[in-house]
Amino acid sequence: MQNSILLQNLCTEQLTELIGNVFDTKFKDFQNSHAPKPEPENLMTRAELLALLKINASTLFHWQNKGKITAYKFANKCYYKRSEIMATITPLNK
């Protein structure tokens, strides 16, 4: 009953604005709840990196010493960030 009295007192512009505000609020809530979540950093072991790049361990060792590839150590194991490896790969221009 109260809602019908309130709606009768609102003009068309006010009603349109009210509906628009409600829609905007609900749409923003929907976007926030369905927003893509950032993927965690994908770490690769030494063996996975060697297989991916199709190189041997000595080549990887030299690239690390030259600073071309960054290794991260945890519990005496080396890990490599896949995103960093892919960023260092440059396309050849023919």
What ranges do the domains of the chain cover? Answer: 2-33, 43-88
Question: Residue 85 — left, alpha, or beta (φ > 0 → left; ψ -120 to 50 → alpha)?
Answer: alpha
The pLDDT > 90 percentage for the chain reads 46
Q: Are 78 and 89 in contact (CB under 8 A)?
A: no
In this structure, how many other beta carbons lie within 10 angstroms of the beta carbon of residue 68?
Answer: 11
Q: Are 44 and 52 in contact (CB under 8 A)?
A: yes
Closest by CA to 85, choosing from 70, 73, 72, is: 70
Query: What is the arithmetic mean of pLDDT over 4-12?
Result: 64
Distance CA 70, CA 80 (A): 7
Q: Write the DSSP symbol of residue 10.
A: S
pLDDT(7) > 90:
no
In this structure, how many other beta carbons lie within 10 angstroms of the beta carbon of residue 71?
Answer: 15
More confident residue, 60 or 18: 60
